[in-house]
Structure 1
Amino acid sequence: MKITVDEEKCCGAGQCVLIAPEVFDQRDEDGIVVLLADTPPTERHAAVREAAGVCPAGAIHLDETA
């Protein structure tokens, strides 16, 4: 799995950080997503999928073939 984030779309809701804090963080100044691991270990994939699914801005994109 390969993750990309669109910082321009991110609204800073922080749901991704709550669901997968090992993979996502937020910038202190504006809450915009920070990707900590663009290729997370297999045991994190379910949480990453959930985080992408609940992102209100659709800023998290997953490539399952990578």
Structure 2
Amino acid sequence: MRAIVETGASTMTALARATAISLFTVSHRTSALRNAGLLVTERTGSSVSHMPTRLGTALLRGSQH
């Protein structure tokens, strides 16, 4: 989630590149964050974008203090 906020990456491919992890791992991690209510996912055609929820953003900001 930090990579989404810090790099602006929101697609699976951009997240994999920004974090140097596989698409498979990105998929599993974004799924877990989404299930926890920390990310929302929007699909437009074949493109999938991820964005932190208010809760996800608040938790991330809290971890930076």
**Bigger RCO (CA 8 Å, 6+ sep):** 1
Does the alignment reach a TM-score above 0.5? no
Pick the structure with more helix per residue: 2
Instruction: Work out which of the two has the higher radius of gyration on C-alpha atoms and give 1 or 2.
Output: 2
TM tier relative to shorter chain: 0.3 to 0.5
